[in-house]
């Protein structure tokens, strides 16, 4: 028998012979047959559920009467003989001067909905300009390729051009002077265009349309920053007497009209009915088998999702399915690609070079080379981070493997939709990680297939976002009283007062002025500063970058770093000089960092209580420090050892949700009133709650943190905290407070349903626990959560009945 998940070479050769090809398999089999083949030969079936999503017919309509014939002919020549109904609905709104968000499924042709009105305006008015904003460089570059074709077909004059961090200085001068359609990203708009608006005055004065593609990507801290960047853009456009129409495009999200209006700071209309066709999709939920090895404290562990996804990627490539494997981390994408290459080297060495990795942090030339190879078919398998989740053109794919739940249903459907574009049938496989949320989802299919997608969460009033953005706005143009409603009204005024007190701004009768010769800056992505360069020590070769905030946990001394199939070990992390020095190595283990946390409550914004349990939401101060790392065997996940680290603390003020329990509550739950017993139950409940929060909030478990204690110094009671891992908060803890009933119920059910005896990574073990997952009381956590959930429900019922909520920034 072959190793788990591998296809023996003789079997693959038989498939090739039956398909009539000798080297590159091109099979006529559909997704059900592919799924059956990759399940074959396994000792136990890893598939827990198969959902078959039906095909959907398309609804074609006529071109709008205002479409220039030359533009219509250009689209027809590219295969778009008639548009879909939703494309025309959105285009008509934009053309009439109404801002609009089009929120339809992946590959539904949203780009035509904004290209029609923008290109029509540019062809009709030789002075008009347009700005396209994309969340990634790759997506903007992909859009440019298509626009250049259209521009050539209509006789030139539109002059689309890319303006990003990779654009040479000479090209930037040309773009400012001559381009009428500029494609860029929020970072470049923030750093390179708005601060130099005088150089862009002619472009801004003639700006007719602003297109914001993949707008669902703007969430959390990043989305909150981008919301202010767009407000700054609107303010400067008004300065130059223009009022552009905004056209937003998004994958399906909950309430796109509200979230779109929050992003741009202005009302808009929404188009949500999808008129495009869609092939059928076979969607499998896949749980890796329990390995023969054990984890910490003898806990059973499942085969890692990355190892399972690597085999699946190799297997699907071998049977002829062009496959994209999404992986949650840069390191994971590299590991999946490397594992797939190793599997193919054993069975089908001819296909090894047709698998590669793709992620953010690669140099621009490397990214574009990989994108071209995927489009051309030179690559048949690619492991990618969510850098390819968005609308980069990767048509022709047959299958998608999701290595772990991506944290949001919107992302899950966006990733799954990358295969089977148009009327092609597709296979999607969600491979569960050894994690409470993933384990819950693969055994509760209705939580995947029966729920609406999440709303986009962003908070422009976050003081850690608002303050720096107001400073940027004042440096561009002094702020006046008339500007305050655009940036939040009273909240903006309070933030301005703080900036004046700090000496950042100066108040004058005419408004607020920037006081420094230099320019202010704001970190849009909340990464905590300038990136850390990853450099091969022996050659000086720059391999890529990692943000400063995650450097201590990802490129600490001793960490394993993967880059395009090559393995490196970090010899030194120099945070002062922002460089990690690495060397080539071939370890059979990977690393995971561990941290410790301290937390104090600053104020309580809202709370509810019933019979000894109080649920609260508010502001907290968190001190966090990476203190060690563990080495784990690649194939099995077993822990080899733990090594200490000496790294600086990270301090942040953020938002948290927490609950407290009195002694009678604990006693009623069967938890002994001894610190180890309380601590073990609370600790297990905390770990699982962190893992399950993404079920109700649009976050990743690595975006949040937690702390539990038998008696917290600020509450005086047994307390469990879950907090946002971003300065000022990101909206995740607030969502947890609002949906605590569902969140904590799912947490309890996930722990209770797990088949392990005393706790494991699928329920209460955490990969980043600084205490080595000790103490943990699985059974105690179930009883404790049952008591808490019952009382929270009673508190909610009382709140509904009497219509009150305790709150109002109570300092402790």
pLDDT in tens, 571-615: 999 999 999 999 999 888 889 898 888 999 999 999 999 999 999
Cα radius of gyration rounded to whole Å, the chain: 27
pLDDT digits (tens, 9 = 90+) for 73-124: 999 998 899 999 999 999 999 999 999 999 998 778 899 999 999 999 999 9
Higher pLDDT, residue 507 or 811: 507
Residue 359's pLDDT band (cuts 50, 70, 90): low
Amino acid 526: pLDDT: 63
C-alpha to C-alpha distance for 324 and 310, rounded to whole angstroms: 11
Residue 107 makes CB contacts below 8 A (sequence gap 6+) with 276, 278, 417, 418, 421, 422
pLDDT: is 422 or 428 the higher one?
Answer: 428
What phi and psi values does residue 180 have, to the nearest 5 degrees?
-105, -10
Residue identified by tokens 């609107």 is 234
Decide: 339 and 567 in contact? Cβ < 8 Å: no
pLDDT score of 394: 63
Is the model's pLDDT at 235 over the cut of 90? yes
Beta bridge mates, 807: 606
- Structure confidence at residue 387 as a pLDDT band (50, 70, 90): low
Average pLDDT, integer, range 335-345: 92
pLDDT at position 368, please? 73
In contact, 543 and 582? CB cutoff 8 Å: yes
Q: How many CB atoms lie within 10 A of CB 452?
A: 11
Indicate if the pLDDT at residue 257 is higher than 90.
yes
How many alpha carbons lie under 13 Å from residue 696 in its C-beta half-sphere?
A: 20
pLDDT score of 422 more than 70: no
pLDDT band at 730 (very low <50, low <70, confident <90, very high): confident
Instruction: Examine the pLDDT at 628 and tell me if it is beyond 70.
Output: yes
Tokens 């853009």 correspond to what residue? Answer: 233
What are the residue ranges of helices labelled H in 66-185? 69-77, 85-95, 110-124, 137-153, 169-178
Mean pLDDT across 391-400: 73
Mean pLDDT throughout 139-157?
84
What is the average pLDDT score of the chain? 88
Q: Is the peptide bond before 775 cis (omega within 30 degrees of 0)?
A: yes
What's the mean pLDDT in 229-234? 98
Average pLDDT, stretch 335-361? 88
Question: Whose structure tokens read 């296979």?
Answer: 427
Rounded CA-CA distance 168/100 in Å is: 34
Residues forming a β-bridge with 719? 660, 709
pLDDT at 50 over 70: yes
Distances in Å between the Cα of 713 and the Cα atoms of 51, 474, 604, 608 are 49, 42, 15, 20
Higher-pLDDT residue of 398 and 146 is: 398
Q: Name the nearest CA neighbour of 412 among 626, 93, 24, 106.
A: 106
Sorting pLDDT into bands at 50, 70 and 90, what band is 178?
Answer: very high
pLDDT at 5 over 60: no
Asked whether the beta carbons of 233 and 194 are under 8 A apart, the reply is yes
Angle at 331 between CA 597 and CA 653, to 5 degrees: 25
At 668-710, the pLDDT tens digits run 999 999 988 999 999 999 999 999 998 888 777 778 899 999 9
How many residues does this entry show for the chain?
812
Task: Indicate the pLDDT class of residue 333, thresholds 50, 70 and 90.
Answer: confident
Q: pLDDT value at position 767? A: 77
pLDDT digits (tens, 9 = 90+) for 371-385: 778 777 888 999 988
Average pLDDT over residues 787-812: 70
Residue 3, pLDDT > 50, answer no
- Give the lowest-confidence range in 40-44, 163-167, 279-283: 40-44
Rounded to the nearest 10 degrees, what angle do helices 778-802 and 675-692 cross at? 70
Percentage with pLDDT > 70 across the chain? 92
Question: In this model, does residue 282 exceed pLDDT 70?
Answer: yes
Confidence tier at 802 by pLDDT (50, 70, 90): low
CB 189 within 8 A of CB 233: yes
**Strand, helix or coil for residue 274:** coil
Higher pLDDT, 629 or 297: 629
Q: Where are the beta strands (DSSP E) in 564-717?
A: 566-574, 579-584, 589-610, 613-633, 639-644, 650-661, 704-709
């Amino acid at each position: 028998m072959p190793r788990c998940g591998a296809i023996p070479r003789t079997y693959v050769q038989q498939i090739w012979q039956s398909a009539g090809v000798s080297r590159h398999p091109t099979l006529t089999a559909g997704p059900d047959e592919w799924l059956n083949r990759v399940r074959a030969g396994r000792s136990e079936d890893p598939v827990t559920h198969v959902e078959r999503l039906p095909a959907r017919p398309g609804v074609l309509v006529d071109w709008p009467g205002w479409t220039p014939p030359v533009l219509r002919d250009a689209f027809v020549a590219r295969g778009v003989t008639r548009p879909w109904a939703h494309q025309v609905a959105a285009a008509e709104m934009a053309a009439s001067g109404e801002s609009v968000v089009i929120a339809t499924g992946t590959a539904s042709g949203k780009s035509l909905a904004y290209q029609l009105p923008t290109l029509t305006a540019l062809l009709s008015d030789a002075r008009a300009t347009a700005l396209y904003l994309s969340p990634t460089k790759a997506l903007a570059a992909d859009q440019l390729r298509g626009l250049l074709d259209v521009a050539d077909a209509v006789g030139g004059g539109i002059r689309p051009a890319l303006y990003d961090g990779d654009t040479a200085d000479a090209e930037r001068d040309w773009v400012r002077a001559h381009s009428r359609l500029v494609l860029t990203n929020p970072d470049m708009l923030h750093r390179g265009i708005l601060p130099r608006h005088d150089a862009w005055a002619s472009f801004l004065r003639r700006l007719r349309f602003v297109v914001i593609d993949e707008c669902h990507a703007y969430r959390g801290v990043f989305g909150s920053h981008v919301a202010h960047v767009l407000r700054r853009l609107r303010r400067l456009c008004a300065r130059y007497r223009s009022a552009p129409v905004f056209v937003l495009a998004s994958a399906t999200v909950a309430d796109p009209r509200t979230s779109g209006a929050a992003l741009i700071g202005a009302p808009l209309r929404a188009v949500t009915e999808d008129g495009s066709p869609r092939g059928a999709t076979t969607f499998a939920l896949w749980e890796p088998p329990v390995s023969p090895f054990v984890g910490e404290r003898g806990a059973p562990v499942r085969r890692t999702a990355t190892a399972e996804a690597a085999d699946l990627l190799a297997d699907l490539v071998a049977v002829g399915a062009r496959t994209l494997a999404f992986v949650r981390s840069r390191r994971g994408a590299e590991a999946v690609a490397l594992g797939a290459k190793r599997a193919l080297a054993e069975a089908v060495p001819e296909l090894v070079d047709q698998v590669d990795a793709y992620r953010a942090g690669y140099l621009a030339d490397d990214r574009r080379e990989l994108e071209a190879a995927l489009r051309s078919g030179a690559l048949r398998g690619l492991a990618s981070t969510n850098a390819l989740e968005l609308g980069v053109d990767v048509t022709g794919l047959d299958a998608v493997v999701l290595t772990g739940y991506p944290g949001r249903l919107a992302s899950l459907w966006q990733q799954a939709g990358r295969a089977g574009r148009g009327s092609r049938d597709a296979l999607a496989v969600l491979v569960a990680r050894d994690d409470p949320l993933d384990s819950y989802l693969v055994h509760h299919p209705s939580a995947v297939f029966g729920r609406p997608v999440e709303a986009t969460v962003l908070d422009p009033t976050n003081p850690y976002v608002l303050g720096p953005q107001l400073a940027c706005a004042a440096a561009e143009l002094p702020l006046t009283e008339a500007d305050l409603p655009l940036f939040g009204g009273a909240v903006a005024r309070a933030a301005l007062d703080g900036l004046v007190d700090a000496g950042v701004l100066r108040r004058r009768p005419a408004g607020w002025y920037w006081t420094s010769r230099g320019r202010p800056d704001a970190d849009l992505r909340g990464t905590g500063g300038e990136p850390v360069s990853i450099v091969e020590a022996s050659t000086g070769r720059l391999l890529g970058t990692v943000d400063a905030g995650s450097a201590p946990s990802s490129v600490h001394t001793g960490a394993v770093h993967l880059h395009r199939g090559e393995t490196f070990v970090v010899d030194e992390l120099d945070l002062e000089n922002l460089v990690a020095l690495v060397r080539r190595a071939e370890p059979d283990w990977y690393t995971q960092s561990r941290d410790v946390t301290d937390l104090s409550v600053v104020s309580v914004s809202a709370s509810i209580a019933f019979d000894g349990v109080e649920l609260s939401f508010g502001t907290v101060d968190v001190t966090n420090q990476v203190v060690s790392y563990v080495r784990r065997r690649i194939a099995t996940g077993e822990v080899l050892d733990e090594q200490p680290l000496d790294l600086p603390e990270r301090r942040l003020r953020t938002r948290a949700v927490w609950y407290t329990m009195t002694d009678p509550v604990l006693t009623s739950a069967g938890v002994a009133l001894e610190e180890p017993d309380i601590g073990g139950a609370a600790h297990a409940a905390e770990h699982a709650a962190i893992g399950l929060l993404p079920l109700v909030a649009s976050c990743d478990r690595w975006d949040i943190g937690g702390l539990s204690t038998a008696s917290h110094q600020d509450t005086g009671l047994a307390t469990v905290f879950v907090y946002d891992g971003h300065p000022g908060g990101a909206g995740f803890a607030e969502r947890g407070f609002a949906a605590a009933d569902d969140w904590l119920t799912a947490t309890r059910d996930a722990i209770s349903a797990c088949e392990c005896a005393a706790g494991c990574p699928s329920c209460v073990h955490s990969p980043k626990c600084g205490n080595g997952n000790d103490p943990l009381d699985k059974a105690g956590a179930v009883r404790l959560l049952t008591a808490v959930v019952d009382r929270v429900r009673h508190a909610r019922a009382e709140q509904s009945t009497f219509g009150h909520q305790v709150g109002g920034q109570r300092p402790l």
